[in-house]
């Protein structure tokens, strides 16, 4: 009944809340530590910019609602690289990797995250090449 629902909601909120805090701290730290000029070094190469923003999406752990705003702020990058950022972010990030590790174990999380990252980046490049 309602009591079981509230207990489940409370457990899930507390379990995921710690990962959300770690993700927010990582995003804030990255924004402060990495200078914008360093990111702009990669904007000259289409492949490097896609790979950089795909890796940045994993590290930043921005929630999917905010990904578009972050991508818009990376205006020096190609639309395909920004698309990769917006696709990879919700699919693979530090919060999800930590959650998968805690739930399914490290070996699964590494394989699953790597496969998901490759598929997300590949899909972004194909769609970006085709539409953008």
Residue with the larger pLDDT of the pair 32 and 117: 117
* HEC per residue, 9-49: HHHHHHHHHHHHHHHHHHHHHHHHHCCHHHHHHHHHCHHHH
Residue with the larger pLDDT of the pair 53 and 71: 53
Q: How high does pLDDT run on average in the chain?
A: 84
Give residue 119's pLDDT band: very low, low, confident or very high (50, 70, 90): very high
pLDDT over threshold 70, residue 65:
no
Distance CA 114, CA 17 (A): 24
Give residue 66's pLDDT band: very low, low, confident or very high (50, 70, 90): low
Residue with the larger pLDDT of the pair 45 and 108: 108
pLDDT at 77: 85
Structure tokens that stand for 48 in this block: 């490097």
pLDDT over threshold 90, residue 27:
no
pLDDT at 51: 94
Its pTM surpasses 0.75: no
Rg (CA), the chain: 16
Residue with the larger pLDDT of the pair 32 and 55: 55
Under 8 Å between Cβ of 98 and 61: no
């Amino acid at each position: 009944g309602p009591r079981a629902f509230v207990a489940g909601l409370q457990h899930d909120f507390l379990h995921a809340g710690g990962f959300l805090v770690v993700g927010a701290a990582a995003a804030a730290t990255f924004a402060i530590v990495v200078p914008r000029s360093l990111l702009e070094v990669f904007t000259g190469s289409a492949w490097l910019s896609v790979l950089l923003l795909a890796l940045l999406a994993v590290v930043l752990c921005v929630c999917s609602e905010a990904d578009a705003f972050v991508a818009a702020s990376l205006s020096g990058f190609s639309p395909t690289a920004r698309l990769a950022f917006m696709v990879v972010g919700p699919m693979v990030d530090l919060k999800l990797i930590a959650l998968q590790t805690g739930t399914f174990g490290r070996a699964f999380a590494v394989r699953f995250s790597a496969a998901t990252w490759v598929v997300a980046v590949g899909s972004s490049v194909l769609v970006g090449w085709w539409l953008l």
